[in-house]
Amino acid sequence: MILSMYNQAYIFVATIGLGFLSGLIYDAFRIFRVAIKHNNILTQLEDIIYWVFVTFIMFRFVISNNDGEVRGFLIGGMVIGMAVY
């Protein structure tokens, strides 16, 4: 599928927002860990749940907005959003 420059820019900004949101959700997990002490196994389980959730959200976004085509700017936008957060 050929995307216009406008659509590519929109998707890039949206992935930056998804990266920012991912960082926010991860911080919520970290606050939860501080509030309630966890052992290593539970911490690892929470991390797995987090990454499955983030992967699912990103997968749904790519399928609905880019017909499933993974492009470099999608990954870059996600990384930039997480770094900005």
**Taking residues 22-37, what's their average pLDDT?**
89
Q: What's the pLDDT band for 7 if we cut at 50, 70, 90?
A: confident
pLDDT in tens, 36-49: 888 889 889 989 99
- In the chain the first and final C-alpha atoms are separated, in Å, by 31
The two three-digit tokens of residue 70, written as one number:
């993974």
- CA atoms within a 13 Å half-sphere pointing along the CA-CB vector of 68: 0
CB 15 within 8 A of CB 81: yes
50 to 9, 22, 25, 34, 45: CA distances (angstroms) = 27, 9, 8, 16, 9
Q: How confident is the model at residue 16 (pLDDT cuts 50, 70, 90)?
A: very high
pTM score: 0.80
